[in-house]
Structure 1
Amino acid sequence: MPHFIIDCSKQIIELKSPEDIMRKVYDAADLTRLFLPEEIKVRINPFQYYNTGNTHNNFIHVFANIMEGRNTEQKANLSKQIISVLKAMFPEVPIIAINIRDFEKATYCNKEMV
């Protein structure tokens, strides 16, 4: 925990390597000090087929899934930090966004908890 899943148009990973993109998101999340570095997970899903408002514009959307307990200000700062890094990395990409979802501690489970 947390999980950062990056959905993007396939052309994004032709502009920069997936490793570089994931590293930038990881570093931005780490710099907020909201998470233990060893718990930050980042994945990327490039899409060949997509529709962005009846266009074929490149896009990046980050889905951040974090354990509940952070306040709105902390989550807003996390969003801004990640978008700032991606915007600097991809100034020509018209659609760059993030949303943050909280996991409930009461319903979260992993294999070590069973």
Structure 2
Amino acid sequence: MPHIVIEYAAVLRQQLDIGELVSKVHKGAIASGLFNPDAVKTRAYACDDYLLGQGDANDFIHIRMSIMPGRSDSQKQQLTQSVWQAMSALAADVSCVSVEVAELHQPSYLKQEH
């Protein structure tokens, strides 16, 4: 844990190295010191169809980090800041960048490993 999902405007493929973005976010989560590095999972998905506000912004990055319950607000802020610091320079020209931490519903979460 955590599961990190990066959603981004597909047009950003032309100006950003998405693999580098994934790497920076992944390393930022590890650098937070809150997780076993082997447990961090990061992936990115391009969005071809989206609307942003009144149309003033034309691109975005949204990072959602899903974690198990039990972390304090301070630890969640630490995670957000660590990821932000790791990737913000890369995304400096993106119209809208957001990062969130969400808690999974532990009773309904199922994980199977082989």
TM-score when scaled to structure 2? 0.88
1:104 maps to what in 2? 105
Which one-letter code corresponds to 1:76 in the other structure?
Q
Q: Is residue 83 from structure 1 mapped to residue 84 from structure 2 by the alignment?
A: yes
Is the Cα contact below 8 Å between 1:83 and 1:96 reproduced in 2?
Answer: no
Superposed displacement of residue 97, structure 1: 0.4
Is the Cα contact below 8 Å between 2:3 and 2:40 reproduced in 1?
Answer: yes
Alignment gaps of 5+ in structure 2:
none
User: Percent identity among equivalent residues?
Assistant: 26
Alignment gaps of 5+ in structure 1:
none
1:49 maps to what in 2? 49
Superposed displacement of residue 103, structure 1: 1.7
Alignment of 1:20-31 (within 5 A): 20-31=20-31
TM-score when scaled to structure 1? 0.88
Q: What is the root-mean-square deviation in Å for CA atoms of aligned residues?
A: 1.5
User: What is the distance in 2 between the residues matched to 1:84 and 1:52?
Assistant: 24
1:39 maps to what in 2? 39
User: What is the distance in 1 between the residues matched to 2:111 and 2:86?
Assistant: 31
- Equivalenced residues, count: 112
2:69 maps to what in 1? 68
